[in-house]
Structure 1
Amino acid sequence: MDKSEYDAIVIGSGPNGLAAAITLQRAGLSVLIVEGKSTVGGGMRSQELTLPGYVHDVCSAVHPMALLSPFFKSLPLKDFGLEFIQPKFAAAHPFDDGKVAILEKSLENTALGLGKDASAYRDFMGPLVGDIPGLLPSLLGPFVWPEKPIEMAKFGMKALPSATWAAKRFQTREARGLWAGMAAHAIQPLQNVATAAFGIMLMASAHLNGWPIPKGGSQSIANALAAYFQSLGGKIITDFQVESLDQLPPAKVVLADITPRQLLKMAGSKLSSSYKSRLEKYRYGMGVFKIDWALDGVIPFTSRECQDAATVHLGNTLEEIVDYEKGISEGRQGDKPFMLLAQQSVFDPGRAPAGKHTAWAYCHVPHGSTIDMTTGIENQVERFAPGFRDLIREKHTMNTSEMEAYNPNYVGGDINGGIQDIFQLYSRPVLSISPYRTSAKDIYLCSSSTPPGGGVHGMCGYHAAKQVLSDVFAIIKS
């Protein structure tokens, strides 16, 4: 192991670990990233999980927040090989009778597709799409007094209610179903306060920048971030699993892209008893069960428009989705899961051999559940795409324990680093003026267990690094 002394060491090379390292390296510090796997990426990895020549995204697949992220926008990632592909439609939501609701980049086209709810959708999303770009510094970071308090108040009026309450403004099955699928990304009951915020942000991101997929797989994002970091002089060591901070070479500060549970294991002796007690109360949310398929052809959706969307939400009506998500939160596993499906190879043919395809899907399950949802998920795809099963050449599944074994940040299969409900939206991992600080002056958290939470945007790492620059190196935050 390298015995050089560094200004900072970052544990983990997910989007937030890489963002923290880049931010510190750009400030002129010497930074080392240590990664337990053989490749960088965290939740941004791609592998041949099924058959040779079929490239699958192991975790994240479609990246609405990547192009919305102020941090990512500040980087010259195109120069390091990153290319995003924009599908024709951001997302599709089919129904049993063959009809479909479409989320398009055009707000007006999306509204027109919702029939009687066209005006309601325009009135709801139009002002938000105009305001959100200016609110991103407040929305994608720790709680601070907003620079635009009036616009933030307007956003809050629509974002703080539950998704089920917000759905009352829509009359049609199409608008209500489309909305429910978006809000279900909250990975919590849609009756919870502030679940409307998740639907709003995803719909707004589609209208602002689309829902892109990275050419070649999510690994392309990780590779570009790592290459940029190294071009600045940063160093990365892979295949180094950190069990204790004592394993690390000397450094003025350590930033950990991990969740509270791992931090307690790695650094418990260095933390105060009161801080450890608060971390032990941190709550994790629902888990996921995931499948990747190698296919002989394009998924034969009854609704042809679904083939023009990289992301397809399968759950039918708002009522079905609400009922399923509520049951999961209560530990009851339903047999008709709401699921997210991505068909990347339709738009990125290099992901599979000529004429063949890949598909990726997951559903929510109770925290820590090891129930095999393969049949339920494939039944749900077949429901909206008869003949789907005939196309399957090979499959790869991951339950919650396998997800956590792959990435320890996915505790109990929770891919958001802890539930993002109203009680842990800004007070993650603890209620603090700076949630990135720990009780030890030389240890900081920079993971999705800090604001603004889960997603491939790098903002948790960026804000943690800015706090470190201010606290440890007396470099004023800007």
Structure 2
Amino acid sequence: MRADAVVVGSGPNGLVAALALARAGRKVLLLEAAERFGGALASAELTLPGRVHDLGATVLAMALASPAFRELRLPGVEFAHPPVAAAHPLDDRPAVLVHRDLSRTAEGLGGDAGAWLATVGAAARVGLPLMEFLLKPLGPWPLWPPPRPVTLARAARFGLAAALPATTLARSAFRTVEGRAVVAGMAAHSMLDLRSPISAGYGLVLAALAHVVGWPLVRGGSQRLADAMVAELRSLGGEAVSGHRVRRLEELDAPTVVLDVTPRQFAAMADLPPAYRRRLLRYRYGPGVFKLDWALDGPVPWRDPAVAGAGTVHLGGTLEEIALSEAEAAAGRHSPRPYVLVVQPYAADPTRGGHTLWAYCHVPNGSRLDMTGVIEAQLERYAPGFRERVLARHAMGPAALEAVNPNLVGGDIGGGLASLGQFVRRPVWSPAPWRTPLPGVFLCSASTPPGAGVHGMGGWQAARLALR
């Protein structure tokens, strides 16, 4: 096939880029090194036959909020919502529950109901216009109608809180142990030291998304979303080839090349201008993760039964404990009681062959330490008898994760450190950072704005630039 455009990498951004180009009439060739398409959307039988596990993302709130995914309208993809979006168990009191309903969530926080409404609620009430504004690319061209003045004003107010460290926001706006803990659990998704600027912003956005679109998953596994996108590409005349690794750009013959790779891979694939190459190689990767998948003989025996209905569970206790854990990972050390992010897909989707569960904790980039024991200890802390439910487990540390997906450099699932500096310099400072100095070559991975998350915006933006 003679292609007008070649897309390398079939993660969410690569798939969105391929579809955007194909829908604009370009002949597209999609190349994926792995045997299955999807990158962060891949699924596999990791433990027992018939048990479907997601290798990467399961909870896809950003896919429902993203303009890139919303305009795809893919047939055959069903999103399932758990009864509770997220839960945060505590040792000596009931768990904090984050519901789709904003008021119900606030009521559960008691003395911090007003604080939740004034911070998370303020963002949630703006809704999708705020999410689109936050995902808007940096370039000077309008990709959709400009936000209304009221949206800009509310975004500015949101920005004042979002710029804070999560520890500062939690201590200044919230008074209760529960309120501060749930803010920490949300912000820790950023993989930043919670004393870092903008760590509050990541938590506020994720919490607000729970009220705006929910925290859903794809029925049957995330792979179904990736497969639907590949099927759509082929229906448009595009070609998708798995098991084909591109090592050098010279292998490709097309006027447009879109790369769903991180700066380190791009630097190895191409002869770049020295100054640009130096800027790329200064790009910093964040902490890695150690991920466990389990096949269970029944649901997790949570001490607080209300946690059973949550799709996502944040384990780590109080603000102080979670902040200490994340500071350790950011400093290159392993926490003996890490913050653990748990996903129980069966709370929303009974079609995955039984009770499957996954969890990860943050570790230093490239860590080789087996964290199975400490992760399961955190589960036992809040769900006594958990280990007795385990039929099989599958562990992946940073090296194993990078072997499955080279974009996960050192186990970094975010495509690079999510710090303030790299929020505006991702991967280099530029009004159009998806464009590279090589004619017709564009970057679109999570190492480009707006960063990590299954939203496809990096691919959408790179494709729009290429089409110009």
TM-score (norm 2): 0.96
Q: Distance in 1 between matches of 2:248 and 2:258?
A: 13
Work out whether residues 138 and 432 of structure 2, in 8 Å CA contact, stay in contact via their aligned partners in 1.
no
Q: Give the drift of 1:266.
A: 0.8
Map of 1:419 onto structure 2 = 417
Does the 8 Å contact 1:426/1:452 carry over to 2?
no
**Equivalent in the alignment of 2:143:** none
What per-residue deviation string (whole Å, max 9, x for no partner) do you get for residues 33-84 of structure 1? 001111110011111101111111111111111111111111121x1x2111
Paired residues of 1:346 and 1:357 also in contact (CA < 8 A): no
Given the alignment, which residue of 55, 78, 92 partners 2:87?
92
Assess if the C-alpha contact under 8 Å between 2:448 and 2:458 holds in 1. yes
Q: Secondary structure at the match of 2:290?
A: strand
Q: Tell me, which stretches of 5 or more residues in structure 2 are unaligned?
A: 141-145
Q: What are the within-5 Å matches in structure 2 for residues 275-424 of structure 1?
A: 275-352=276-353, 356-424=354-422
| Deviation digits for residues 355-378 of structure 1 (CA, Å, limit 9, x no counterpart) | x41100000001110110000000
Report the counterpart of residue 45 of structure 1 in structure 2. 42
- Which residue number in structure 2 is paired with residue 452 of structure 1? 450
Distance 1:403 1:92 in 2: 26
2:462 alignment partner, one of 453, 456, 464: 464
Give the TM-score normalised by structure 1: 0.94
**Conservation of the 8 A alpha-carbon contact between 2:127 and 2:212:** no
Q: In the TM superposition, what are the counterparts of 1:47-446 in structure 2 within 5 Å? A: 47-77=44-74, 79=75, 81-143=76-138, 147=147, 148=149, 149-168=152-171, 169-248=173-252, 250-267=253-270, 269=271, 271-352=272-353, 356-446=354-444
State the identity %. Answer: 47
Distance 1:97 1:130 in 2: 32
- Which one-letter code corresponds to 2:461 in the other structure? H
| 1:98 CA displacement | 4.7
| Inter-partner Cα distance in structure 2 for 1:27 and 1:172 | 52
In structure 1, C-alpha distance between the alignment counterparts of 2:56 and 2:26, rounded to whole Å? 31
Alignment match, 1:476: none
Find the aligned partners of 2:214 and 2:306 in 1 and give their Cα distance: 16
Separation of aligned partners in 2, 1:329 and 1:461: 28
Instruction: Give 1:136 shift.
Output: 3.1
Gaps of 5+ in 1: 471-478
Indicate the RMSD between aligned Cα atoms, in angstroms: 1.2
Deviation at 1:242, TM superposition (A): 0.9
Asked whether the equivalents of residues 141 and 460 of structure 1 are also in contact (C-alpha less than 8 Å), the reply is no
CA distance in 1, matches of 2:438, 2:218: 38
Does residue 30 (structure 1) correspond to residue 27 (structure 2)? The answer is yes
Structure 1: which amino acid aligns with 2:405? Answer: N
CA-CA distance at 1:26 after TM superposition: 1.0
- SS of the residue corresponding to residue 301 of structure 1 reads coil
The CA deviation at 1:115 is 0.6
Contact map agreement 2:340 2:361 (CA 8 A) in 1: yes
2:83, 2:347 within 8 Å by CA — same for their partners in 1?
no
State the alpha-carbon separation in 1 of the partners of residues 463 and 394 from structure 2: 37
SS in 2 for 1:216: coil
Secondary structure at 2:357's aligned position in 1? strand
**Contact 2:66–2:132 (CA<8 Å) still a contact in 1?**
no
1:115-161 C-alpha deviation (Å, 9 max, x unpaired):
11111111222221122421333311323577443233112111111
Cα deviation, residue 231, structure 1: 1.6
Q: Is the 8 A contact 1:138 1:144 kept in 2?
A: no
Question: Within 2, Cα distance between the matches of 1:136 and 1:202?
Answer: 10
Contact 1:107 1:126 in 2 (8 A): yes
Q: Equivalents in 2 of 1:234, 1:155: separation in Å?
A: 41
Q: 1:14 maps to what in 2? A: 11
One-letter amino acid matched to 2:21: L
Partner SS for 1:289: strand
Distance 2:115 2:335 in 1: 32
Counterpart contact for 2:65–2:132, Cα < 8 Å: no
Q: How far 1:346 sits from its partner (Å)?
A: 3.4
Query: What letter is aligned with 1:263?
Result: F
Letter in 1 for 2:292: I
Partner Cα separation in structure 2 for residue 347 and residue 340 of structure 1: 17
Corresponding letter in the other structure for 2:130: L
For residue 408 of structure 1, what is the amino acid of its counterpart? P
Letter in 1 for 2:190: A
